[in-house]
Amino acid sequence: MTSFWGNHLKLSVFGESHGRAIGAVIDGLPAGIPIDETAIAKEMDRRASRGKVLATPRKEADTVNIVSGYFEGHTTGTPLTGMIENTNTRSGDYAGTKNKMRPGHADYTAWLKYGGYQDYRGGGHFSGRLTAPVVFAGAVAKQVLAAKIEGLQVGSRILCIGGVADESIVIPEAYADLQYCDANWPAIDESRIPEMQAAVSEARADKDSVGGIIEGYVTGVPGGLGSPMFETVESRLAALLFAIPAVKGVEFGSGFAMSGMRGSEANDAFYMDGDRVKTRTNHNGGVNGGITNGMPLVFRVAFKPTPSIAQPQATIDMARREDTTIEITGRHDPCIVLRAIPAVEAATALCLLDLILEDGR
């Protein structure tokens, strides 16, 4: 297997959900960039559990110990490594079901790939716990981006949870005004937040879970980033987004909805705003021919319902080679969307930084 990603910037993620520690190594960062550890801690806190009803009761401090590539407040230009200790594991929750393949999880495919030698506790290297080092790496990438590109802003919002949808955005410039969104439940129409929360609470009460959609966006994106064919902005960002556990779909701009449009509707008409080229609409999500056009980069990420549910489910026992049932115990999120928001932003920041460094900016 390989856990490396990136062209100019190289990211490696290591560790398992119930191992001693998890972490990330970032290679290719320029030297001399100031890094604010308080800002990193804030990003890590955004990923934290939000209580027993709407999220898992497992709480980790997620304190990042930067052990290399950082000296006297600045990057050194050498590989930057951040380690996060796992301090609140309950591995015994998995001992009784280690041979039972949890539906919706990677247990069976991991067994096929690694022949039973994989760490099964909490999903091991397949766990959503591994998004913590990605969020750390993204927090660093955000700070490097801020130092390089003035006005660039990476953000996201909840577009849908459990079938409850937020407002759509029609005017491309509106993305620049989304900073007012609630930090914990970033939605434009705040009246929908209680409905979203109710959908999550009802699923937990039913020993079930729900999925949702996160819309990511970047404003202030320079035009000209990316390449056609195999190195498009879409393909490179999608590759990193699909590394986030539970992601099952990614679309850019109006995405699949464009298949039902006519060309006269789907085409984004250009116009001059002073010396700057803009488009009236943004159905293409700020990308044409795999290259950014300077409009907001907009995309959506679909998350499946959390597969760990407490209802009895049909499965197989690999040790006995027979059909059986499983009831999953332990501490699990009834909806992963909230805690995935900083991971989506982290993936976005890392991809943009890789593209910008590659472009020599």
SS3 271: strand
User: Among all chains, which residue has been given the structure tokens 């039913």?
Assistant: 206
In this structure, what DSSP letter does residue 238 have?
A: H
Helix (H) or strand (E) holding 247: strand 247-252
SS3 134: helix
* Residue 289 is assigned to a ligand binding site: yes
Q: Under a CB-based contact definition with an 8 Å cutoff, are residues 152 and 220 in contact?
A: yes
Helix (H) or strand (E) holding 114: helix 107-114
Total residue length of the chain: 361
Identify residue 94 by its one-letter amino acid code. Answer: Y
| Structure-block tokens of residue 71 | 């000296």
* Residue 306 is assigned to a ligand binding site: yes
* Residue 331 is assigned to a ligand binding site: yes
* Residue 71 is assigned to a ligand binding site: no
* Cα–Cα distance measured from residue 21 to residue 88, given in angstroms and rounded to the nearest whole number: 11
Instruction: Find the radius of gyration of the CA atoms of the chain.
Output: 21
* Residue 276 is assigned to a ligand binding site: no
| Structure-block tokens of residue 185 | 């439940």
* Residue 47 is assigned to a ligand binding site: yes
* Cα–Cα distance measured from residue 19 to residue 273, given in angstroms and rounded to the nearest whole number: 54
* Cα–Cα distance measured from residue 132 to residue 2, given in angstroms and rounded to the nearest whole number: 18
* Residue 191 is assigned to a ligand binding site: no
Nearest 5°: phi and psi at 46?
Answer: -65, -30
| Structure-block tokens of residue 233 | 């902005």
- Known binding-site residue numbers: 47, 125-127, 289, 304-308, 331
- Known binding-site residue numbers for FMN: 125-127, 289, 304-308, 331
- Known binding-site residue numbers for NADP(+): 47
